[in-house]
């Protein structure tokens, strides 16, 4: 018989959902929705919660706790929940473990959760080895970022760092050429990109910080027609990833 979660258990899940400090402390996060829950590697899956309606139509799937439909709606982060969410373990990567690739994305203070999630999903499609972020980026395990990755968060290695400069220096030592997306840069159609390359994408409003920009080997711009002056960070990332 399926268990009903205690009031304390529900409070704990809501705290994990809402507070980055709780996610950092526990090393856990909330994944919501049928597709995301199905993507969680078995070794990272901790608990599964279902609404009574969802459980009735999925009687053979793993379920640790069942909530009444209304209770589940209050626990979920989305307006129209599908009826399933899970608690999963976070993953941690070290640069030394993932420096053998040929394509990298470096994110300098990307703050919109939807942008970050979309970049991670696109990175998987483009074959990016690692997504590197500074601490000014949106938190990767926040509910909106997790949903926006549509499962790619479980497969794309990523590194969050306090010191982008140190990481970029180590990448250069391993033979990676660093390109910064900047409006003053050379048109990307005029550049022969190195086999081992990394693209730096800056903040949605302010671009790449000066200290990080000066570490790039070359600046690259995306040509634009009409009166458009800039592109969304996720769109810019996608264009560069496929070059």
**pLDDT one-digit tens code per residue, 26-71:** 999 999 999 999 999 999 999 999 999 999 999 999 999 999 999 9
Q: Which CATH number belongs to the domain containing residue 212 in this structure?
A: 3.40.1280.10
Do the domain assignments include residue 2? no
Shared-domain flag, residues 153 and 50: no
Query: For residue 2, what pLDDT is reported?
Result: 72
Whether residues 135 and 166 share a domain: the answer is: yes
* 82 and 197 belong to one structural domain: no
Question: Do 199 and 110 have their domain in common?
Answer: yes
Cβ neighbours for 125, distance < 8 A, ≥ 6 positions apart: none
**Sheet with 218-221, edge to edge strand ranges:** 158-161, 130-134, 103-107, 197-201, 177-187, 218-221
Structural domains of the chain, count: 2
List phi, psi (to 5°) of 160.
-105, 125
Sort strands 197-201 and 158-161 into parallel, antiparallel or unpaired.
unpaired
Pair 195, 226 in one domain: yes
Residue 228 sits in the same domain as residue 111 = yes
Do both 80 and 106 map to the same domain?
no
- Below-50 pLDDT ranges, the chain: none
Do both 113 and 169 map to the same domain? Answer: yes
Q: Per the domain annotation, does 26 fall within a domain?
A: yes
Do residues 72 and 107 share a domain?
no
Does residue 1 form part of some domain?
A: no
């Amino acid at each position: 018989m399926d268990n009903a979660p205690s009031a304390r258990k529900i409070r704990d899940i809501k705290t994990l959902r809402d507070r980055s400090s709780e996610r950092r402390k526990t090393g856990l996060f909330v994944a919501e929705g049928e597709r995301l829950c199905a993507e969680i590697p078995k070794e990272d899956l901790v608990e599964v919660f279902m609404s009574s309606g969802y459980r009735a139509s999925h009687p053979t799937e793993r379920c640790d706790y069942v909530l009444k439909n209304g209770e589940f709606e209050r626990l979920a982060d989305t307006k129209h929940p599908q009826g399933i969410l899970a608690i999963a373990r976070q993953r941690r990567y070290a640069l030394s473990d993932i420096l053998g690739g040929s394509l990298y994305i470096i994110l300098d203070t990307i703050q919109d959760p939807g942008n970050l999630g979309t970049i991670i999903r696109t990175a998987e499609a483009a074959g990016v080895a690692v997504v590197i972020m500074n601490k000014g980026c949106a938190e990767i395990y926040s509910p909106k970022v997790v949903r926006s990755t549509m499962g790619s968060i479980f497969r794309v290695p990523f590194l969050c760092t306090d010191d982008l400069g140190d990481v970029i220096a180590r990448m250069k030592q391993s033979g990676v050429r660093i390109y910064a997306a900047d409006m003053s840069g050379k048109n990307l159609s005029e550049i022969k990109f190195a086999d081992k390359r990394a693209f730096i994408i800056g903040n949605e409003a302010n671009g790449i910080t000066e200290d990080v920009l000066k570490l790039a080997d070359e600046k690259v711009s995306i040509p634009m027609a009409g009166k458009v002056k800039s592109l969304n960070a996720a769109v810019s990332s996608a264009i560069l990833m496929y070059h």
